[in-house]
Structure 1
Amino acid sequence: MNRVITVRELIEVGGFDETAVLAGETFLEKELLGVTSFDSPDGHKWLRPGEFVLTTGFPFLTHKESSESGLIKLIDDLVEVGTPGLAIKLGRYIESLPPKVITHALNRQMPILSFPMEKAWSDVIVPVVRYINDKQRMELVQTHAIYERFHRHLTSGDPVSNLIPLLHDVLQSPISIHVPTLKWNWETPPAMRKDETIVYVDKQIGQHAPRWMLNQPLARMTNGLFVRWLLHDQKVQGAILLRQPDRDLYAWEKVAIEQSAALLSLEMERQRTVSETYQRFRNDFLQLLVSGKYGSRHMLIRKAEEVGWELAEHYIAVVISVKPHSSPDVETWKENLTLLETIRRILSMCDLPILFGLDQHNRILLLMPATENDESAAKGILTDLMTTLALQWQHPVYLGIGRLHHSWEGIVQSYHEAQISFRSATHAIGLANAPLLHMKDFNELGLERILFADKPGAEAHALAEEYLGKIAQYDKEKNGQLLYTLQIFLQVNGNYVEAANLLFVHKNTIKYRLQLIRDLTGLHPENGQDQLMLRIAMTVHSFGYQA
Structure 2
Amino acid sequence: MALDSRSSVEINPGMGVPLDRILGLPIFSQSRVLAGSNGLGRMVTGVNIMEVPDIVNWVKPGQLLVTTGFAIRDNKEAQETLIPSLVQRGLAGICIKTRRYLVEVPPSMLYLADALDFPLVELPPDIGFADLIHDVLSAILQEQSAYLLQMLDAHSALMRIMIEGGGLQKIADTLATLVENTVCIVDLINDRGVYTCVDWQEAEVEALLTRVQEQLHPGEGMFLSQEDRKALVLEERTIGYFTMPLLVASECYGYICILETRRPLADSDIRILERLSVVAALEMARERSLREVEQRYANEFLNHLLSGRIEDEKLEIEHARKFGWDLTKNYVVALVWSAPPLKNRGKHLYNQEIRNRVLRELPAVMLAKGVQCLTGLRGEYLVVLVAMEEQGLNPRQVNELAKQKLRYAQEYLGWVFKGWQIRIGLGRFYPGIKGLQQSYQEAKQALRLGENIPAYQGLIAFNDLGIYRFIYARDRDQEVQNYLQETLGKLLEYDREKNTELIRTLQVFFQHHGNLKKVSEALFTHYNTILYRLERIKEISGFDLDSPEDRFNLEVALKLLSGCNK
Q: Distance in 2 between matches of 1:129 and 1:268?
A: 42
Q: What is the Cα deviation at residue 22 of structure 1?
A: 0.6
Q: Distance in 2 between matches of 1:12 and 1:91?
A: 23
Distance 1:460 1:367, change over 3 A: same
Q: Deviations over 1:256-310 (max 9, x none)?
A: 4345433333333333333222222212332344358534443232011122323
Q: Distance in 2 between matches of 1:89 and 1:502?
A: 123
Distance 1:333 1:73, change over 3 A: closer
Q: What is the Cα deviation at residue 241 of structure 1?
A: 2.4
Q: Distance in 1 between matches of 2:284 and 2:103?
A: 65
Matched, 1:110 2:137: no
Q: Distance in 2 between matches of 1:351 and 1:177?
A: 27
SS in 2 for 1:499: helix
SS in 1 for 2:387: strand
Which residue of the partner structure matches residue 6 of structure 2? none
Q: What is the Cα deviation at residue 132 of structure 1?
A: 1.8
Which residue of the partner structure matches residue 342 of structure 1? 357
Q: Distance in 1 between matches of 2:189 and 2:374?
A: 16
Q: Deviations over 1:23-44 (max 9, x none)?
A: 1223312212212122444422
Q: Which runs of 5+ in 1 are unaligned?
A: 325-329, 432-437
Q: Distance in 1 between matches of 2:455 and 2:89?
A: 58
Alignment of 1:237-386 (within 5 A): 237-244=253-260, 247-251=264-268, 253-254=269-270, 256-291=272-307, 294-311=310-327, 313-323=329-339, 337-347=352-362, 350=365, 352=367, 354-359=373-378, 361-372=379-390, 374-375=401-402, 378-386=405-413
Q: What is the Cα deviation at residue 319 of structure 1?
A: 0.8
Q: Is the 8 A contact 2:317 2:328 kept in 1?
A: no
Q: Distance in 1 between matches of 2:330 and 2:102?
A: 91
Distance 1:191 1:255, change over 3 A: farther
Matched residue type, 2:267: Y
Which residue of the partner structure matches residue 47 of structure 1? 59
Q: Deviations over 1:224-262 (max 9, x none)?
A: 2222333455433333322236745433x3454345433
Distance 1:104 1:512, change over 3 A: farther
Equivalent of 1:128 in 112, 130, 136: 136
Matched, 1:477 2:497: yes
Q: What is the Cα deviation at residue 467 of structure 1?
A: 0.9
Which residue of the partner structure matches residue 400 of structure 1? 425
Q: Which runs of 5+ in 2 are unaligned?
A: 1-12, 233-239, 394-400
Q: Distance in 1 between matches of 2:221 and 2:483?
A: 56
Distance 1:320 1:226, change over 3 A: same
Matched, 1:145 2:153: yes
Distance 1:350 1:164, change over 3 A: farther
Q: Distance in 2 between matches of 1:518 and 1:493?
A: 17
Q: Distance in 1 between matches of 2:40 and 2:458?
A: 62
SS in 2 for 1:310: coil
SS in 2 for 1:358: strand
Q: What is the Cα deviation at residue 322 of structure 1?
A: 2.7
Matched residue type, 1:486: L
Distance 1:298 1:338, change over 3 A: same
Q: Distance in 2 between matches of 1:545 and 1:187?
A: 72
Superposition CA RMSD, Å = 3.8
Q: Distance in 1 between matches of 2:540 and 2:141?
A: 90
Q: Distance in 1 between matches of 2:360 and 2:455?
A: 24
Seq. identity, %: 24
Which residue of the partner structure matches residue 27 of structure 1? 39
SS in 2 for 1:186: strand
Q: Which moved more, 1:330-339 or 1:119-128?
A: 330-339
Matched residue type, 1:368: V
Q: What is the Cα deviation at residue 375 of structure 1?
A: 4.0
Q: Is the 8 A contact 1:7 1:84 kept in 2?
A: yes
Matched, 1:426 2:434: no
Q: Is the 8 A contact 2:98 2:125 kept in 1?
A: yes
Matched residue type, 2:158: F
Q: Is the 8 A contact 2:39 2:118 kept in 1?
A: yes
SS in 2 for 1:91: coil
Distance 1:235 1:460, change over 3 A: farther
Q: What is the Cα deviation at residue 184 of structure 1?
A: 4.1
Q: What is the Cα deviation at residue 336 of structure 1?
A: 7.5
SS in 2 for 1:122: helix
Matched residue type, 2:176: H
Q: Which moved more, 1:416-425 or 1:44-53?
A: 416-425
Distance 1:370 1:35, change over 3 A: farther
Distance 1:299 1:386, change over 3 A: same
Which residue of the partner structure matches residue 532 of structure 1? 552
SS in 1 for 2:458: strand
Equivalent of 1:79 in 68, 83, 87: 87
Q: Distance in 1 between matches of 2:224 and 2:31?
A: 42
Distance 1:408 1:476, change over 3 A: farther
Equivalent of 2:510 in 483, 486, 490: 490
Q: Is the 8 A contact 2:33 2:119 kept in 1?
A: yes
Matched, 1:56 2:71: no
SS in 2 for 1:52: strand
Q: Is the 8 A contact 2:61 2:91 kept in 1?
A: yes
SS in 2 for 1:494: coil
Which residue of the partner structure matches residue 435 of structure 1? none
SS in 2 for 1:194: helix
Distance 1:356 1:247, change over 3 A: same
Matched, 1:154 2:162: yes
Q: What is the Cα deviation at residue 151 of structure 1?
A: 1.6
Q: Distance in 2 between matches of 1:537 and 1:25?
A: 91
Q: Is the 8 A contact 2:373 2:386 kept in 1?
A: yes
Distance 1:16 1:525, change over 3 A: same
Q: Deviations over 1:380-403 (max 9, x none)?
A: 531342233134xx4323322345
Q: What is the Cα deviation at residue 124 of structure 1?
A: 2.1
Distance 1:287 1:148, change over 3 A: same
Number of residues of Structure 1 aligned to a counterpart in Structure 2: 522
Q: Distance in 1 between matches of 2:15 and 2:531?
A: 89
Q: TM-score, normalised by structure 1?
A: 0.81
Q: Deviations over 1:468-488 (max 9, x none)?
A: 223212222332222222222
Distance 1:410 1:8, change over 3 A: same
Matched residue type, 2:522: L
SS in 2 for 1:29: coil
Q: Distance in 1 between matches of 2:508 and 2:359?
A: 53
Matched residue type, 1:386: L
Which residue of the partner structure matches residue 417 of structure 2? 390
Q: Distance in 1 between matches of 2:69 and 2:523?
A: 120
Q: Is the 8 A contact 2:48 2:65 kept in 1?
A: yes
Q: Which moved more, 1:27-36 or 1:152-161?
A: 152-161
Q: What is the Cα deviation at residue 194 of structure 1?
A: 1.6
Q: Distance in 1 between matches of 2:346 and 2:160?
A: 43
Q: Distance in 2 between matches of 1:41 and 1:464?
A: 105
Which residue of the partner structure matches residue 440 of structure 2? 415
Q: What is the Cα deviation at residue 114 of structure 1?
A: 0.3
Q: Distance in 2 between matches of 1:11 and 1:471?
A: 98
Q: Is the 8 A contact 1:428 1:439 kept in 2?
A: no
Q: Distance in 2 between matches of 1:351 and 1:3?
A: 54
Q: Deviations over 1:152-191 (max 9, x none)?
A: 3333455553333332222222222333664643322335
Distance 1:180 1:215, change over 3 A: closer
Distance 1:316 1:16, change over 3 A: same
Q: TM-score, normalised by structure 2?
A: 0.79
SS in 1 for 2:135: helix
